[in-house]
Amino acid sequence: MAQSLRKKFEIVFLRGDPDMSSFHPLLKGAIELHCHSYPSLFPRKQTDWELIEDVKAAGMAGVVLKAHEAQTVDRATLLRAKEPHLHIYGGLVCNFFTGGLSPAAVDAAIRLGAKIIWMPTFSSKEHCCHFGQKKTRFFNTQRPLLHPEQGLEIWDENRRILPQVHEILELIAESNIILATGHLNPEEVMVLVDAAKEHKVEKILIQHTDLGIARVPFDLQTELAKKGALLEKCYLACSGDFNDITVEEMAESVKRLGVESCVMVTDYGQAHNIPPIEALSNFVGEFLKCGISEPQIERMIVQNPKHLLGI
């Protein structure tokens, strides 16, 4: 079966068969947990509908919509009504745009059907310190973005988890959905994961562990994997936007961590990059060249995402 899929892929690219998908056949049944589309404050490559057309063309099982500036549950619900055979889900990022670290906002998102609650990304202190004034570079407008310069942290001055974060963790645990770490710094991530385990959060996703915005050192990645968290191996970290790690180095990290602890995501959707599903297809092809086997890739793009989403 695996060999036939590979032959089909070679036929598509070498002969250019117009009747077959140009996406890698291993994407069949996959779910992309981390990508971006339009509507958005940020320049995006595709609309939601265009993204979903690619998901269908690739034979994927679904996708999770992520937005820094708004909850995506409503959009996902409407898309799913049109494409009921697909697993299209949304969630909430706890940025200033959406109320910050607000239990009320999280509660509402969960009641609407959120599958993931992301800790602050664009609004995190780590993100604000990393980009500084450049963080508004995405916005082609004469009026500066109304966004506080002081970013959000999950703890107080004594590094004790804030009460509202404990409330959010309790809500996530009760609903058995995914806690994602956003753009927190590695120390915050470690403290958050320990607190989440105390609250009996079962599904923890460590965001783009190799991306320079909030890179998690490998020794901490190993520790997080031992705690039962799943780690995003993110194609964007290998792109010209960041160049934080090569695909070969990332593949080696997967071999050392074990595929049971990793998910492959792209974090693509930026207007200047290729579309997310095309990026995921390329990512799969490059990992195969690095010695990651087809069953191992399937574990990271099919089985692990489905487990997190409760499918």
Query: CATH number for the domain including 178?
Result: 3.20.20.140
Q: How many residues does the chain have?
A: 311
Half-sphere exposure at residue 47, Cβ-oriented, CA atoms within 13 angstroms: 4
What is the residue-averaged pLDDT of the chain?
Answer: 91
Q: Residue 3: inside a domain, yes or no?
A: no
- 133: pLDDT strictly greater than 70: no
For residue range 81-113, what is the model confidence (pLDDT) as tens digits? 999 999 999 999 999 999 999 999 999 999 999
Name the residue with higher pLDDT: 288 or 15. Answer: 288
The total number of structural domains in the chain stands at: 1
Q: Residue 282: inside a domain, yes or no?
A: yes
Q: Residue 11: inside a domain, yes or no?
A: no
| DSSP conformational letter for 303 | I
Q: Residue 152: inside a domain, yes or no?
A: yes
Residue span of the structural domain in which 262 resides: 30-309
Q: Residue 9: inside a domain, yes or no?
A: no
Cβ contacts of 83 within 8 Å, gap of 6 or more = 52, 56
Prediction pTM value:
0.90
